[in-house]
Homo-oligomer: A and B are copies of this chain.
Amino acid sequence: MSDTKFLQYVDEHKDDYIKRLAEAVAIPSVSGNLSYVKDVEAMGDFLLKQLIALGAKAEKKPIGTHTLEGKEVDLPPVIIGQLGNDPKKKTLLVYGHYDVQPALTEDGWLYPPFELTPDPNGSGRLYGRGATDDKGPVMGWLNVLEAHKNLGIELPVNLKMCFEGMEENGSVNLDKFIESEKDKFFAGVDCMCISDNYWLDTKTPCLTYGLRGITYYEIKVSGPDRDLHSGVFGGTVHEPMTDLISLMSKLVSQDGQILVPGIKDLIAPLTDDEKAKFEAIHFQIQDIHDAVGGDVTISNDTVNTLMSRMRNPSLSLHGIEGAFSAPGSKTVIPCCVKGKFSIRLVPNLTIAGVTDLVVKYVQDEFKKLGSKNKLEVYLTHGGEPWIADPEHYSYKAAHKATESVYGQAPDYTREGGSIPVTLDFANILNLNVLLLPMGRCDDGAHSTNEKIDTDNYIRGTKLLGTYMYELAAAHK
């Protein structure tokens, strides 16, 4: 179900919609850089003005200050907007962000990053910083509002919108904002939709219903109180690097199995339904070889590989702080080294549970070494895993909308990485959250030559609108 006038309007206003995205991209709203503070503010104002012009009750919400490059500055405000307040309709909450990653032409951009540039070869790609992350999706919602306003059609749901300007810089204070507005702006919300991730490939639309969490650890081994010369002291003292490398070698096997006892036992058992969803995903091992630039997959089985990415924990060794790390040769015995590794969490692993197991295991293994050095092992940060119920009516609605707009059922994917705001909304507001991506896997969010395909942007706009209609029609 959808509104045919809406779909027709979108097709007829494609050029206007691209112009809207171009205006947004032209504002370099880089949140992590002091010299762009005014631009981030300008982008918030642009959004606010458009929302009001398109009929929303919208406002700027200050959320405090933070320190940027040593200077205390205002955090970019949260822009909230609301359209419709009909108790008979469902209320949908939408989230997006209006800030972007840094971008400099000299980093290797084909075109100026803050000028939306269509591929001159006619591929339909629209290049520009923020095109897909996350200005494309945010403009998609404005496009939906514009169509309905100009057609004089009421939205089928009550719409609440929450757009932040700090997503690329840690979403500072957003959790506090959600908490403080829980019973005010966010009151009465039925479900939520976030468009801030990507298809798994370049062809298949998907709904994303899970994210892995993370625990990040440091193992610190110290001994001497100064760095030593290996000629003078090699062979006579317990070297912290020898201990650390030994400990790090006991964390994960070559085929990616976590060696910390007890972690595997905590993983939620695989259900038939879950397995069926992984088996249905459109994905080939070649896709991953292309993505990493080499035939280095542990398994050549597609389903195994997808599950390793999406529903199994993993442990990666990231590096060592305090040891020699430059090109060339240095004959140092570092006196204090910190090994860094992280574990990706899946249900039912928790930060606390995994940390207990990791700390105990590393301490036990260190004792076995019989070293006179000192050990510390600790969590530096963590994020819990998240999973939504993909049988929720919001997912059913998005499924139908995808079939209607793309002519095919969506894949059901889970992301290997974290999107912390998802958890904040889901947990604080106790909501089902749907991740409904607009762009493709090769869009290059955070990278040079970020792009969105015109087809994804336009059909993505249709998808957001159609999803609203399906949601309105769905049985709670």
How does the 8 Å CB contact mask read for A400-431 relative to B, with 1 for contact and 0 for none?
Answer: 00000000000000011110000000000000
Instruction: State the Cβ distance, A295 to closest chain B Cβ, in Å.
Output: 6
Q: Report the nearest B residue to A307, measured CB to CB.
A: B235
Instruction: State the Cβ distance, A260 to closest chain B Cβ, in Å.
Output: 14
- Residue pair B295, A318 in contact (C-beta under 8 Å): no
* A80-88, A270-278, A331-339 - interface stretch: A331-339
Q: Report the nearest B residue to A344, measured CB to CB.
A: B234
- Residue pair A236, B318 in contact (C-beta under 8 Å): no
Q: How often does this chain occur in the complex, in copies?
A: 2
Instruction: State the Cβ distance, A209 to closest chain B Cβ, in Å.
Output: 16
Q: Report the nearest B residue to A332, measured CB to CB.
A: B318
Contacting residues of chain A (193-218) with chain B, CB-CB under 8 angstroms: 212, 214, 216
How does the 8 Å CB contact mask read for A290-316 relative to B, with 1 for contact and 0 for none?
Answer: 011111111100000100110011111
Chain B residues with CB under 8 Å of A104's CB are none
C-alpha spacing A373/B296, complex, angstroms: 6
Is residue A228 within 8 Å, beta carbon to beta carbon, of the partner chain? Answer: yes
When A216-B331, A254-B369 are in contact, do A344 and B230 touch as well, CB less than 8 Å? yes
Chain B residues with CB under 8 Å of A293's CB are 224-226, 335
- Residue pair B332, A237 in contact (C-beta under 8 Å): no
Is residue A372 within 8 Å, beta carbon to beta carbon, of the partner chain? Answer: yes
Q: Which of B235, B294, B330 contacts A256 (CB 8 A)?
A: B235
Count of A interface residues, CB-CB < 8 Å: 80
C-alpha spacing A313/B236, complex, angstroms: 11
- Residue pair A235, B314 in contact (C-beta under 8 Å): yes
C-alpha spacing A261/B256, complex, angstroms: 28
Q: Which of B232, B294, B325, B344 contacts A320 (CB 8 A)?
A: B325
Q: Report the nearest B residue to A217, measured CB to CB.
A: B329
List, sorted by A's number, 10 A–B pairs whose CB atoms are closer than 8 Å.
A230-B318, A234-B344, A235-B313, A236-B288, A237-B298, A239-B317, A243-B254, A246-B249, A318-B324, A320-B323
Q: Which residues of A contact B (CB under 8 A)?
A: 212, 214, 216, 223-226, 228-239, 241-243, 245-246, 248-249, 252-256, 288, 291-299, 305, 308-309, 312-321, 323-327, 329-335, 340, 342, 344, 369-373, 380-381, 415-418
